[in-house]
Amino acid sequence: MRVLSVCAAVVGSLSIAFGIAGTVAGSADAAEPRLMAALGNTVLTMTDIGPNHTQVSVNDKPVFEDKESDMLSFVGAYSLKDRWIALFQADTGAKDCPTRFRILEVGGPQPLVSYPFGSCSDAAQVTIDNDVLTISMPQPAGGGEAAWTYRNGKIGRSK
C-alpha cells in the first residue's frame, strides 16, 4: 500500500502551470486560468470566474463550478491504471465545516466528478491500493479517523 501526504509531490508525470487570474487581451470578461495541469493527454484548468466562483475544465470543457467556497485548491493528481484522479480541496470558511474535498476522474469516456465529501478537516492522507484511492482524515473533536474510498467512479464512506 502506498501512503501519500496531500502535501507531497504529485504522483506521475504531471505538468503544472500557475497563472494569475486576470483578463485576456482583447476580452474584458475572460479570466486566465489560475492552474493548468496535464494529466496524461488531458489538460485540466482551474479558472477564478469571480469571488467564490471557480470553474474546473477538462480540455477546455467546463466539468464543474464551485460557487460556495472561499477558495478551491488543487491538492494532487494520482494515476490509477488508465485513469487520472485529481483531488480538490474546497475551503468554505464556515465554522462548523471549513473544508470539503471533491474528486475529478479523467481518462474514461467522460470526466466524472464526485459530490463534496470529508470530515471537515484539511489534514487528509491519500493511499492507493489495487486501483482504489482512499482519502483519510481526522474527525472533529478527537472522534478518531474517517475515510472515503473512490473506486469504479464512485466515492463512498469506508470508515
Alpha-carbon gap, residue 156 to 126, rounded angstroms:
14
Alpha-carbon gap, residue 108 to 106, rounded angstroms:
6
Q: How confident is the model at residue 29 (pLDDT cuts 50, 70, 90)?
A: low
67 versus 27: which is more confidently predicted?
A: 67
Q: Which amino acid is at 81?
A: K
Place of cell 479558472: 47
pLDDT in tens, 85-134: 999 999 988 888 999 999 999 988 999 999 999 999 999 999 999 889 99
Q: What is the pTM of this model?
A: 0.81
Domain ranges of the chain: 2-157
pLDDT in tens, 40-88: 999 999 999 999 999 999 999 999 999 989 999 999 999 988 899 999 9
Q: Three cell numbers at 126?
A: 491519500
